[in-house]
Amino acid sequence: MKITCNRQDLLASITGVSRAVSSKSSIPSIEGILFECDDTKLKLTAYDLEIGIITYAAADVIDTGSIIINARLLMDILRKSDGENVTIESDDSLRVRIQSGITKYSFIGISPSDFPELPMPATDSSLSIPGQDVKDLIDKTIYAVSTNDQRPVHTGSKFILKDGTITVVSVDGHRLAVARKEGIGSDVDASFIVPAKTLQELSKLIGDKEENVRISTARRYAIFHLVGYTVVTRLLEGDFIDYKASVPQSYKTVVTVKAGDLMDAVDRTSLLISDRFKSPIRLQIGSEELKVSCTTALGSVHDEIPCTCEGDPLEIGFNYRYVLDALRNGGVAEVKLMMNEPTRPMTIVPVEGNDFLYLILPVMLRSYE
């Protein structure tokens, strides 16, 4: 194999596929990127046995062939070289030679036969939606994915396609995040659970691109077709939480508040909380103000912001990080906080529309907190 590419263009392509490279593995091939070139194009593939990413890079193909090159080493070479172009070649002994400008590298690559087969199954259903909608759904819910391997099915987000609406659900045992987009123009009826790592990398690959993303599903895999990249991921299997059963049907207390005001108040109050001095924040809800307070071994803090309250006054406690995460990821100016009892979860929704719904379990307050 021998190719010549624009160095910066190749680095951009390598950076994209490297999101599917294993950072530490006993299998050297999945720490690398598979180069495959025919007479006209260069195909780059990375696969860590959970997520695979494919892209095609512009190249002047001098000799066809294939080789696996360690991703970290290759990216470092491309970043630190100063030539406009880069030439990469390999021979039958797996010797790789890279030249950019006057700098030359020579090292041993990995046989392409060692690369694991990337599954490309026949798909059962497919739909196409704007990439920014996919990114928004991911970004509004990914924060609530569980990191506890005791329930592997909750280490991903569930996608539900039904009646022209796509809904994404994440849960970690303390909070629930639901986001939806209506009017997607598809009659696909399906549900599947995508690992959190795949969704994080997918959001980064979409970036600010406006083009559509095509989502195809099979029994155990999903394929996301982006402009420039194909992302293949295994799906998680198991019984996901019935999120609708977790959401209260009625509320005794409804508070309308500016999200930014509440974020600032919670952020200020949390300054007395640390890993050493832990304590929940206390929300005291009246008719025209929302009081936010906290007491730890360091001292106490009190703040308050204006609000509109309908229903019963209430005092309730929460982990401050969970409240901040919900408010930051909602991305709206005003929210409704809907509650029943100090021991039952709080629901957060936008004042207008139904793009998201967040549920946070409270923390029991003690009299001296």
Contact partners, residue 13, CB within 8 Å, separation at least 6: 44, 55, 56, 57
Q: Are 251 and 311 in contact (CB under 8 A)?
A: yes
Instruction: Give me the percent of the chain exceeding a pLDDT of 90.
Output: 84
Q: Residue 232 has what pLDDT? A: 97
Q: Are 61 and 41 in contact (CB under 8 A)?
A: yes
Region 72-86: mean pLDDT is 96
CATH of domain 125-244: 3.10.150.10
Residue with more model confidence, 60 or 123: 60
Whether the pLDDT of residue 368 is over 50: the answer is no
User: Residue 152 corresponds to which amino acid?
Assistant: P
Whether the pLDDT of residue 24 is over 90: the answer is no
Whether the pLDDT of residue 36 is over 90: the answer is yes
Instruction: Give me the percent of the chain exceeding a pLDDT of 70.
Output: 99
296-328 pLDDT, tens digit each: 888 999 999 999 999 999 999 999 999 999 999
pTM score:
0.92
User: From CA 217, how far away is CA 214, in angstroms rounded?
Assistant: 10
Q: Residue 340 has what pLDDT? A: 96
Region 148-159: mean pLDDT is 93
Q: Residue 366 has what pLDDT? A: 74
Q: Are 159 and 236 in contact (CB under 8 A)?
A: no
Region 15-22: mean pLDDT is 96
Return the CATH superfamily for domain 2-114: DNA Polymerase III, subunit A, domain 2 (3.10.150.10)
Quick one: pLDDT band at residue 68, thresholds 50, 70, 90? very high
Q: Where in the chain is the domain with CATH 3.10.150.10?
A: 2-114, 125-244, 248-360
Region 208-222: mean pLDDT is 92
Q: Residue 367 has what pLDDT? A: 60
Whether the pLDDT of residue 150 is over 60: the answer is yes
Q: Are 111 and 225 in contact (CB under 8 A)?
A: no
Beta strands in 41-200 (DSSP E): 42-47, 51-57, 60-63, 65-70, 85-90, 95-100, 103-108, 125-130, 156-162, 165-171, 175-181, 190-195
Region 288-295: mean pLDDT is 92
- The total of other beta-carbon atoms located within 10 Å of residue 60's CB is 12
Contact partners, residue 161, CB within 8 Å, separation at least 6: 125, 127, 184, 186, 188, 189, 190, 191
Whether the pLDDT of residue 123 is over 60: the answer is yes
Region 97-123: mean pLDDT is 94
Q: What is the mean pLDDT of the chain?
A: 94
Region 3-25: mean pLDDT is 95
- CA 132 to each of CA 129, 140, 202: distance values in angstroms, whole numbers, following the listed order: 9, 12, 11
CATH of domain 248-360: 3.10.150.10
Q: Residue 25 has what pLDDT? A: 85
Q: Residue 63 has what pLDDT? A: 95
